[in-house]
């Protein structure tokens, strides 16, 4: 049980912190702006809640299917990456989301899914 909790915390930290670093860089090198009409605290809390759900699912599915994914953790990360990249593209096609935001999201996911899967595999 301690491994599951440590995995969840580790994955949550990785998938919460990496996007801030990537979006921070994107803000400096492009004209990416933070969302308007919402306070920074409300925005960060909303992101946190979303990432908690992702971390729970990421760890739980891996744990349940670890007999399959233990040696194929990179495949596991790739499947999650693919799902989220398709989501980023879908959001960019729709309103109120730019291709700059989608690109930053895809870069973030390219970093944090393999990193989170590796750390989780080592812990579990």
Q: What is the pLDDT of residues 71-81, one digit of tens each?
A: 999 999 999 99
> Do 46 and 55 form a contact (C-beta atoms < 8 A)?
no
Gap between the Cα atoms of 98 and 96, Å rounded = 7
Residue-wise pLDDT for 3-57, tens only, equals: 999 999 999 999 999 999 999 898 889 988 777 888 878 988 999 999 999 999 9
pLDDT mean over 79-84: 98
Q: Which of 1, 17, 27, 7 is nearest to 73 (CA)?
A: 7
Q: At residue 87, does pLDDT exceed 80? A: yes
pLDDT of residue 40: 79
User: Alpha-carbon distance 38 to 61, whole Å?
Assistant: 33
pLDDT at 38: 81
């Amino acid at each position: 049980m301690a491994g599951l909790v440590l995995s969840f915390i580790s994955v949550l930290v990785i998938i919460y912190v990496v996007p801030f670093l990537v979006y921070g860089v994107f803000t400096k090198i492009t004209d990416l702006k933070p969302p308007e009409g919402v306070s920074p605290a409300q925005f960060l809390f909303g992101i946190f809640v979303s990432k908690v759900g992702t971390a729970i699912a990421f760890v739980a599915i891996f744990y349940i299917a670890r007999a399959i994914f233990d040696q194929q953790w990179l495949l596991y990360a790739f499947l999650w990456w693919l799902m989220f990249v398709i989501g980023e593209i879908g959001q960019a096609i729709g309103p109120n989301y730019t291709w700059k935001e989608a690109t930053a999201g895809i870069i973030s996911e390219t970093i944090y899914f393999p990193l989170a899967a590796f750390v989780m595999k080592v812990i579990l």
